[in-house]
Amino acid sequence: MVTPNRQQVVGSDAAIVEPVARETASWTRIPPRGLPDDVSNGQLISPDGNLALNVFPAHFSADAVEVFVGPHGRDEVYDALVAAEDGWSAWRDTDDGARVYVWRHRDNVRFARPEFRRASVSLEESPRLFSHLMLAGIDRQLEELGFARGQRDHPGPAVYTKWGTGNFLSGLGIDGFEPDLRVGIFPKIIVESLITRFGDASPRVYLIVDVAYTSILDIPVHELLTQKFSVIGRYVKLHEGPTATTGTSGRTIGRVSKVSGTELILEDRRDGVKERVAAETCVLEPGRLTIEAYLRHIHPNHYRAAKPALDGRLAMLMSPPEKLRLAEGFVSRRLGTTDEVAIPLAAGLTVKFSDPVTPSADAAPFRAS
């Protein structure tokens, strides 16, 4: 994601960042005047015509971290170790699967296992360990700030959403349009790491932050059926709660082929899912098209005006200038980029982030992993 200079940006997402006026080495942000508090409008100006990327250099407080190193052993042994985490974390080395690292979050946390020994690991020796420490520390930081981490069926970047804040369906300015609070489209933050090495130089770790949106339709299917909303052909997931089956809570379980009384008959089912499930235990997979179909069905008199307003908001969110503005603000406001703010990662190790990188045509080539 890149942003050309002199590109105007507009946004209104308090869930990610509030407008802030600041000056960096390569960009000067000009704050707006005379706009509502929930709207920011400015220009990104690069005097030398550079582009900015949503890639933020990580600066660790030390070049080495104190950890405990032990064998991986059997999968069930490792799973039990992870389940026992209490002020410390365990991670299986992705470069050497036979090795497990354990680190304490703070100095006053105790960890003792006979098969683990103390060790000091440097950034040069294991940049992937430092990368994982960074992402795990960010995860704890965002959880404390009220962000929820999204569930994924496959490996990939971490996704965070602050439910209840920044619903794009709210405040569209359409009289009488008041969607159910269990329905919404919210901004989401996508976080991953990048490791580079320029020639024989020491490895560098970066944080990549992207912004998109996600949706929620947390209305039980049996309630949707009473509202005459068709669920045929739509995917469902088990509602997170006491009636959810272990291991599938919040996960897509299949597509509705028929409705039989109070039960749903599923096709394209997830492994281990029965053909029939109770409608009261399910909610719809809340894709944007499903959300729009629901709004069109429940609010037929307001949907014609609501759709272009919603489309405009989402188009602005997905524009490269706005994505970069929100990514910068997220890092500076939620993760901290000042000398006074640092994210604790492990005992004796913290991290800070500087301004996004600006590529240069004459920069040295690097290897990325």
User: How do residues 96-106 score in pLDDT, each as one tens digit?
Assistant: 999 999 999 99
Contact 333, 21 (CB under 8 A): no
Distance between CA 359 and CA 332 in Å, rounded?
20
Distance between CA 117 and CA 113 in Å, rounded?
8
- Is residue 13 over pLDDT 70? no
| Mean pLDDT of the 17-23 span | 37
- Is residue 16 over pLDDT 80? no
pLDDT at residue 39, as a whole number: 29
Q: What is the pTM of this model?
A: 0.78
Residues 254-309 pLDDT 10s: 999 999 999 999 999 988 899 999 999 999 999 889 999 999 999 999 998 999 99
- Is residue 159 over pLDDT 70? yes
Contact 275, 286 (CB under 8 A): no
Q: Find the helix or strand (DSSP H, E) in which 277 lies.
A: strand 276-278
pLDDT at residue 341, as a whole number: 74
Contact 38, 166 (CB under 8 A): no
pLDDT at residue 171, as a whole number: 81
Alpha-carbon torsion (161, 163, 165, 170), positive or negative: positive
Chain-wide mean pLDDT for the chain?
81
pLDDT at residue 369, as a whole number: 54
Nearest Cα neighbor of 198 from 24, 77, 367, 360 is 367
Per cent of the chain over pLDDT 70 is 78
Residue scoring higher pLDDT (68 or 73):
68
Contact 266, 303 (CB under 8 A): no
- Is residue 36 over pLDDT 60? no
Residue scoring higher pLDDT (50 or 89):
89
Distance between CA 225 and CA 261 in Å, rounded?
10
pLDDT at residue 197, as a whole number: 82
Nearest Cα neighbor of 260 from 298, 227, 297, 221 is 221
Distance between CA 220 and CA 19 in Å, rounded?
37
The angle that helices 320-330 and 303-317 make with each other, rounded to 10 degrees, is: 70
